């Protein structure tokens, strides 16, 4: 297993050998969605198709869990 650094928080992330260029994963520290952009050298970056930047990275699993979903035409009740 190799490691690559998160471009946002610089934590080393273990990358399984089975993943390919284009594979997506979450950073375990900052929870940003990342994409493998190179295998030699191993490099991670923000996915381009999601328009993520270092200033506004896409929210990871925690961001989705904390967000409230709304249904059009219906109000959410607590």
The full set of domain ranges for the chain reads 2-49
Of the two residues 76 and 42, the one the predictor is more confident about is 42
**In a 3-state reduction of DSSP, which class is residue 19?**
coil
At 48, give phi and psi (nearest 5°): -70, -40
CATH pick for 2-49 out of 3.90.600.10, 2.20.28.160, 1.10.1740.10, 1.10.1040.10: 2.20.28.160
Query: What tens digit of pLDDT does each residue of 31-75 get?
Result: 999 999 999 999 999 998 655 455 665 555 555 433 333 334 444
Reported as a pLDDT band with limits 50, 70 and 90, residue 1 is: confident
Cβ distance 52 to 35 under 8 Å?
no
């Amino acid at each position: 297993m190799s490691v690559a650094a998160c471009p946002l928080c610089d934590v080393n992330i273990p990358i399984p050998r089975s993943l390919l260029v284009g594979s997506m994963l979450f950073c375990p520290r900052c929870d940003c969605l990342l994409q493998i952009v190179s295998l030699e050298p191993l490099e991670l970056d923000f996915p381009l198709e999601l328009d993520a930047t270092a200033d506004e990275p896409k929210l990871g699993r925690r961001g989705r869990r904390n967000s409230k979903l709304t249904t059009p035409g219906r109000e959410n009740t607590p």
